[in-house]
Amino acid sequence: MNNTSALSNILAPFRLWSAVVGVAGGLLCTAGWYFFPAQFFPAWLVAFLLWLGITLGSLAIVMLHHLTGGGWGMPIRRIQEATFINLVLMAVLFLPLLTGLPILYLWAQPGAMEADEILARKIQYLNAPFFQVRAAIYFSIWILLAFVLNWLSAGTRREDDFVRQRRLALVSGPGLVLWALTVTFAAVDWGMSLEPHWYSSMYGVLFMGGQGVSGLAAAIIAAVVLRRYAHWPEHLTRDRLNDLGNLLLAFVMFWAYVSFMQFLIIWSANLPEETPWYLHRSAGLWAWIAIGLAVLHFFTPFLLLLWRQTKRKPQWLVGVAALLLVMRWIDLTWLVMPTFSPDGLYLSWLNFVAPVAIGGLWLAVFAWRLPARAALPMHEVHEEEEVHGIQHAR
């Protein structure tokens, strides 16, 4: 039995239980959609953005690796390729949000745009038909990039190595630009327009930083868990873990920088169109959530990842990555939910069920796709460099 078949058999129970949990959670969310729509749609939006962030973050990191090369991306490459194939699933899971636009967005309520002088100027952009068209464009671009990259990366003939890597780099350059543009517009559409009077030029960049943290943290966890199977024990060396930890540190610092600069600029400007957004997120227990984000999404991971031993010990690095994934959910909750409870923290049971429902389905598809190829893209121009690095690390 080859390594991919063995991995498929090992992941079979995990696929089954993930699917069961996802379907069960989906049924509960369906009940919430029918009986408690005002609670369901915000909770579903947060959960959707969480898992979409992992998926799109993986897509961006793979394109970054195709452009820069190096051995750091080899242990997580196949993991992230199996991750961003979930974009098809995420497109399907986006559809429930379209049934609740008037509940989520003020601008989608009948007559709301015409009754507000400021919103009336945005009616050409903020309207349901154009919103749906833009969402279709975003997902079309993301899915096309995902399938093209997977198709180009699938070759195994050594004589095609240079041409394959050249094509992957040629796709990844424009692909990263398209990713940045579409993520920015999607963040404006799905997040910033929840409060349509408010605006920030850094909001899309904030989402890009968060997706980088999510995608890399999830890949690190998967690589360490899978290190007992296939080729991962040979290639996930301490040096590679150190590289991945350094990159995770960079993403954490970038997210923190953008978050703080957005707050500093808006708070110091003190404009009536901008400051209410932060006032909603500092009322009651929301203020403690903000403090928790500063401590656990930045300061704690920052200090731990500065320490070399944290990055070279798999269990410690996984602990930091898991903390960051939890904080990504809390951060997205802090970004979205105060719109619907501006006077203080309020979460329903759907806020906890929705991430589990989407996550179960997401993990089932991921575990199905992961064993489809060899654990590592062995036949590449980086192969000699990678093998030499492994022998040196030993």
The structural domains of the chain, with segments of one domain joined by +, span 3-379
pLDDT of residue 379: 52
Q: What's the whole-number average pLDDT of the chain? A: 90
Residue 85 tokens read as 């194939």
Number of neighbours of residue 291 by Cβ within 10 angstroms: 11
Residue 316 tokens read as 């410690």
> How far apart (Å, rounded) are the C-alpha atoms in residues 279 and 369?
44
pLDDT of residue 232: 60
In one letter, which amino acid is 2?
Answer: N
pLDDT of residue 175: 97
Start-end of H helices in the chain: 3-35, 37-68, 74-84, 87-98, 101-104, 112-115, 117-120, 128-153, 161-190, 203-225, 232-235, 238-269, 275-280, 286-293, 300-306, 308-312, 314-336, 350-369, 383-393
Number of neighbours of residue 6 by Cβ within 10 angstroms: 13
> How far apart (Å, rounded) are the C-alpha atoms in residues 128 and 136?
12
DSSP tag of 175: H
Q: Are 21 and 356 in contact (CB under 8 A)?
A: yes
Tell me the per-residue pLDDT of 200-242, one tens digit each, with 9 for 90 and over: 999 999 999 999 999 999 999 999 998 877 656 667 889 999 9
- The pTM of the full predicted model, rounded to 2 decimals, is 0.93
Tell me the per-residue pLDDT of 284-318, one tens digit each, with 9 for 90 and over: 899 999 999 999 999 999 999 999 999 999 999 99
> How far apart (Å, rounded) are the C-alpha atoms in residues 70 and 381?
10
Tell me the per-residue pLDDT of 337-389, one tens digit each, with 9 for 90 and over: 999 998 888 899 999 999 999 999 999 999 999 887 766 665 554 444 444 44
